[in-house]
Chain A
Amino acid sequence: GAGVSQTPSNKVTEKGKYVELRCDPISGHTALYWYRQSLGQGPEFLIYFQGTGAADDSGLPNDRFFAVRPEGSVSTLKIQRTERGDSAVYLCASSLSGTDSNEQFFGPGTRLTVL
């Protein structure tokens, strides 16, 4: 079956612009996670959805970052007024439910470059 997909695979934008990154989770997975991975580092948690609601958004770095999952499936990560420091690979993962032992399945990521 299809895995987690993310679009676009690469996004280049200019400082100050607005970007949207899309994640399509595995069908039937109720939990969805966003991570940010900077060069040479491990993934850093941003936000977790259980169904349509954001159950934990404690990892969002500031109010320029926002994510939605209106129908409990596809999710969009939105970044306003992008800064060069936002450049990273943004990873999406989904799991069957939000329990701790459930495996998270990761997408290939979106590489964001802010010039």
Chain B
Amino acid sequence: AQSVTQLGSHVSVSEGALVLLRCNYSSSVPPYLFWYVQYPNQGLQLLLKYTSAATLVKGINGFEAEFKKSETSFHLTKPSAHMSDAAEYFCAVSSLGGQNFVFGPGTRLSVLP
């Protein structure tokens, strides 16, 4: 069975500061990993995905994530937070042969002026 944990249900950063959102997964087979963002009253939007190519994945809006197999992690980072980054962020895992995604509980990011 697959599972995803996201440490910190709420993260606050100052505008211009580093954003770090944590994601750890468990999977018995090589995983595919995803980060989605959900703005208020909108659907989930894909930020980036890891599908066994490069371990450092670059996504939209300046976000990137690094797959670390030894740590079973896929943390999301952005060097400099912008007010428009305030949203809910979800990490998800699927795996070879699996047909559905398992989502983490989400982390709400607040950006302070």
Contacts and interface: CB of A to CB of B under 8 A. Distances in A.
Interface of A: 3-4, 33, 35, 40-45, 48, 50, 55-56, 59, 91, 93, 98, 100-101, 103-109
Nearest to B106: A42
Contacts, number: 63
A43 B51 contact: no
B106 A100 contact: no
B53 to A, nearest CB: 10
B7 interface: no
Interface of B: 4, 9, 32, 34, 36, 41-46, 49, 51, 90, 92, 94-106
Contacts of B36: 106
Contact of A41 (B32, B45, B106): B106
A109 B105 CA distance: 17
Given A101-B32, A101-B51, A91 B44 contact: yes
B5 to A, nearest CB: 11
Contact of A100 (B41, B43, B94): B94
B43 A107 contact: yes
A10 to B, nearest CB: 11
